[in-house]
Structure 1
Amino acid sequence: MGTITKALEMLNCFSRKRPEIGLSEFVRLTGRDKATVHRHLSELEQNGFLEQHPVTRAYRLGPAILRLSAVRETTNPLRSVVRPIILELSNEVGELVHFSMLQGLSLSPVHNADPRIHGTQVFFDEAELLPLHATASGLAILAFSPGKFVDRVLARPLQRFTENTITDPDTLRDMIAKVRETGFSFLEQGFDKEVTSRGVPIFGPDGTVLGALAVAIPHTRLTDEKSAAALAVLRKGMVRITRSIGGTIPPEHAHKWCIDD
């Protein structure tokens, strides 16, 4: 792992729950020595990716993140395109709906919406990278990814997030094959012990899978009726988002989502 990668990787430590991080906590989170961590933090700060709180001296995301985010959205709009679609789907199903894009061997959340009409909601941290093996979104992506990519993901040590997290590669391959056959992924309490999710892939301009759309439902609220409603909005959402971002649904898979054209 190169020096630049090690430095940039530290940005992934931030989340809604952890918006500010001190030097000692960075050392603990990264497992690196204090001198190296401090050097990386200083370089990130000098380039505007981080800034220090004037009182606590803890680090937080800097203005360069905002600038680059604005450039990305202006030149290659995505969040503004998918936001109204996700909001509509969320209101229709009455649950949290989220769209994430592939980032290396993980998923990076792009946008989520929750109508908050129930007393219990799913907690979703838009700053947290999602694992491919332990989320419905991840399984949806793996099901339509090249075999070599799947091999890379499953060859790594697979983290267990709950007692229901599946980490056996052979079992995961069987699950991935089923998702590829049906077009929909299903995962019960694999990433969050309180949540069950369903997901579908989102395709890019060349028909390559680049992300996933998912509905997350508190496990105690899951019923056959709710599950059917989730599948309906996912089918609709997959088509609308893929086409809205200029994507192409591979013709050989279109029937899985009842797409005729």
Structure 2
Amino acid sequence: MGKTRMMGTLQIERRSVHTSGTSSRDAGYAGHRPGRLAMQTVQSIDRAFQILEEVASDPGGISDLSRRLDLPTSTVARLLTTLERLGGVERLAEDNGYRIGSAIVTMAASIDPNQSLLAVAQPHMVDLVEQVAEAVGLSIPAGYDVHYIGQVDCANPVQVRDWTGVSLPMHIVPSGMVVLAHWPDEAIDRYLSRKLDRYTPRSVIHPRRIRERIERIREEDVSWMEEEFAEGISSVAAPLFNAAGVVVGALHSHGPTYRFPDEALRDIISGRMRSTAQAISAALGHVA
């Protein structure tokens, strides 16, 4: 059985506060009125949690959240900016609104494993490792990236590193492409209108070719890439859906290009990847 790795930590950037250039009145205020500052800090935390609870139940934009929470637009905008920087929320590609971010999802995976996507998928991932003899991983969308949240290693002594905790652009890995393929067309248009980075000489960054791949993924529900993210690595992925039919992540397997995939087994591996992804989606309540 493979070894399971999970990411259950959140790194938060800590910034020092410099007081140079402040007036003596400002310094006195900071030094002698800590109660008011503490009260303001608690209020900000309280409001930030209100926002997190609201976007968790119903994603929305700044104006919409301001109206629903009866908070000033400027306050909501400021708190969303901070939460986005920390990974607490992320922008929705289709309408510039906000939803719960990858950092919250990752923490939830460690705090409440019985309810997490990773916990649901993990036994299926273990089975798939035995079937394809390569490492199997799980990722979730995080803005215009995919964020890797867990992996089950294979028994082979030579294998690809664990990418848990790493985020990569959607167009550069199959786990991102299978998510992108199930976005609305206008959201795909916005993604492709951006500058797309090339990671290797084989990376596909032309919008027309990416659209062709998207059409193929929509027909086959699986995507293969060879040496497009990194030389010497090949990978395959399939999408995962929740009960509402929304794509919530991707299941992938990767290995060294010299042995993966065995061309004689490519179709078999594709089929097993699809069926395993469908089983995980069904466990999440999705009805095909």
- Please provide the CA RMSD for this pair: 2.7
Unaligned regions of 5+ residues in structure 1, if any? 13-48, 50-63, 250-261
Report the alpha carbon displacement of residue 179 of structure 1 after superposing the two structures with TM: 1.4
Map of 1:32-47 to 2, 5 A cutoff? none
Q: Aligned residue for 1:247? A: 286
1:135 paired with 2:173, answer yes
State whether residues 82 and 111 of structure 1, in contact with CA within 8 Å, keep that contact through their aligned partners in structure 2.
Answer: no
Aligned equivalents of 1:220 and 1:241: distance in 2?
29
Q: Aligned residue for 2:130? A: 91
Aligned equivalents of 1:77 and 1:176: distance in 2?
28
Aligned equivalents of 1:66 and 1:100: distance in 2?
11
Q: Which one of the candidate residues 237, 241, 260 is aligned to 2:276?
A: 237
1:225 paired with 2:264, answer yes
Map of 1:54-133 to 2, 5 A cutoff? 68-69=107-108, 73=112, 76-117=115-156, 119-133=157-171
Report the alpha carbon displacement of residue 214 of structure 1 after superposing the two structures with TM: 1.4
1:105-162 deviations in Å (ceiling 9; x for gaps)? 2112232112132x42011320101221011111111222211221121112111111
1:135-192 deviations in Å (ceiling 9; x for gaps)? 1111111222211221121112111111111111111111111111222211111112
Q: Aligned residue for 1:199? A: 237
Report the alpha carbon displacement of residue 77 of structure 1 after superposing the two structures with TM: 2.5
Report the alpha carbon displacement of residue 228 of structure 1 after superposing the two structures with TM: 3.0
Aligned equivalents of 1:134 and 1:108: distance in 2?
13
Code of the residue aligned with 2:112 in structure 1: it is E
Aligned equivalents of 2:258 and 2:106: distance in 1?
41
Report the alpha carbon displacement of residue 81 of structure 1 after superposing the two structures with TM: 1.5
State whether residues 106 and 149 of structure 2, in contact with CA within 8 Å, keep that contact through their aligned partners in structure 1.
Answer: no
TM-score, normalised via structure 1 length: 0.67
Unaligned regions of 5+ residues in structure 2, if any? 1-76, 89-102
State whether residues 106 and 129 of structure 1, in contact with CA within 8 Å, keep that contact through their aligned partners in structure 2.
Answer: yes
Code of the residue aligned with 1:195 in structure 2: it is I
Code of the residue aligned with 1:69 in structure 2: it is A
Code of the residue aligned with 1:204 in structure 2: it is N
Cα 1:177–1:137 shift into 2, 3 Å? same
Q: Aligned residue for 1:28? A: none
* Greater Cα radius of gyration, structure 1 or 2: 2
Aligned equivalents of 2:178 and 2:109: distance in 1?
29
1:30-69 deviations in Å (ceiling 9; x for gaps)? xxxxxxxxxxxxxxxxxxx9xxxxxxxxxxxxxx989943
